[in-house]
Structure 1
């Protein structure tokens, strides 16, 4: 079923001249744009200290989620769908294993960090961007749907762990949020 859904989503690749460049662009610059938008949060005027705390949480969740992925990659060696003949690749080949998706982890960890910290409008915006990044990874042929779901899970896990361990208004947090 995973291969069938992946193939169906990827079947649109190469068929629509307008959608292909958009999906390639999203897959290539989506995560950097999300990171840039988190950085920009540092200078918001409203509820500055809390938003800065959330930006730090998002960055920590991003890093922790990717670290978790590296641990998973030690045990799971899933070939990419284009190597298995399931998808048509629109971008350059990747050198690592397919599961879990680092792009999904990175984008979803940020969105989940904002959701867990009580910033729902920002969280929705980040979730929408993260969804597009995840969809683009399957569309361009570099991931299975379950790779993206696995990356989403590690991103969520990273954000939850950060939420539990990095508390607002601690001495470290007050120092970090007062920078600049």
Structure 2
């Protein structure tokens, strides 16, 4: 019960500014809905201009993000956490369906990008991605469609997915290297 109360308290702290300053609301709505699209567009631009450098990490990250979307659907099937507006907590600035609040898929996408690029050695892009994921997550709370723990959960899940994928790929590559090509010819 203490986590629920803390989650609601933190939600109110962040969401309390909604509808107070219309100009701020417009900026935060953009951050909540479109910042991840702008960042992904930038990454696509990098792939287009430097294919050899960024194509592999982009594809790997895309696969992890797609897997995270499936995982989010599985989580929702077994555990539906209501969104703030579903339990009477407002102020909601954007429309949203009554799907499960946990985890924040917008935040999760940018977190995965940040950690994937960071661990692949693209530290600057990774740091920008992680900073933007925090901005996206807080803005999703500000606009009233997520709780703070949904955002925190997205960071944990994103980190674990990237770490697990990196480990699995290293193991897979190691096993492929151990295969004796001559033995396969016999």
- The TM-score normalised by the length of structure 1 is 0.84
For residue 39 of structure 1, the aligned residue among 29, 39, 44 is 44
Deviation at 1:81, TM superposition (A): 0.7
1:94 corresponds in structure 2 to 97
Give the Å deviation of 1:50.
4.2
Secondary structure at 2:78's aligned position in 1?
coil
Alpha-carbon shift at residue 148 of structure 1 (Å): 1.1
2:57–2:117 contact (8 Å) kept in structure 1: yes
1:125 aligned onto 2:119:
no
Q: Give 4+ residue runs of structure 1 displaced > 4 Å after superposition.
A: none
1:161 paired to 2:164 = yes
1:18 is the counterpart of 2:30: no
Indicate the structure (1 or 2) with the bigger Cα radius of gyration: 2
TM, length-normalised to structure 2: 0.82
Contact 1:13 1:140 (8 Å CA) reproduced: yes
What is the CA–CA distance in structure 1 between the aligned matches of 2:64 and 2:112, rounded to whole Å?
Answer: 6
Could you list the per-position Cα deviations for residues 56-88 of structure 1 after superposition, in whole angstroms to 9, with x for gaps in the alignment? Answer: 222122112222211111111111111212331
1:106-137 per-residue CA deviation (whole Å, 9 max, x = no partner) reads 11111111111111111111112211111110
Deviations 1:114-163 (A, max 9, x none): 11111111111111221111111000000000111112222222222332
Q: What is the deviation of 1:41? A: 2.2
Could you tell me whether the CA contact under 8 Å between 2:81 and 2:102 is conserved in 1? yes
Aligned residues: 166
Return the offset for 1:8: 0.9
Contact 1:108 1:155 in 2 (8 A): yes
Alpha-carbon separation, structure 2, partners of 1:49 and 1:112:
20
Which residue does 1:6 correspond to in 2? 11
Structure 2 spans left out of the alignment, 5+ residues: 1-5, 174-186
The aligned runs of 1:71-90 (5 Å cut-off) are 71-90=74-93
CA distance in 1, matches of 2:134, 2:60: 20
Q: In terms of mean alpha carbon deviation, does 7-16 or 144-153 score higher?
A: 144-153
CA RMSD of aligned residues (A): 1.7
